[in-house]
Amino acid sequence: MKTAKLVIGVLSIVLTMVVLFQSCAATVGDALANEGGTSGGVGMAVALLMLVAGIVAIAARIVAEAAYSASLLMLWQAFWD
């Protein structure tokens, strides 16, 4: 299970970069369209939370299984809602 936690943490950090790039592109698109949208800013906040989740996943590999699984599920739920 420790290997799975490490893989999940690394994937979260990699996907953070994808979300951050997409959010920056959305921000530029909103600025060019002069619409004043907030989707880029919200995406950057989600990228930050995903980065935190990835770091927690890597650092918390020694935590009890139930506590880790519950916290990881809550973090992923928060990202994708």
Query: Secondary structure of the chain in the HEC alphabet?
Result: CHHHHHHHHHHHHHHHHHHHHHHHHHHHHHHHHCCCCCHHHHHHHHHHHHHHHHHHHHHCCCCCHHHHHHHHHHHHHHHHC
Averaged over 65-73, what is the pLDDT? 70
- Distance between CA atoms of 70 and 57, rounded to whole angstroms? 12
Q: Tokens representing 22? A: 């997409």
pLDDT in tens, 1-50: 677 778 888 888 898 898 889 888 888 888 788 877 777 788 888 888 88
pTM: 0.65
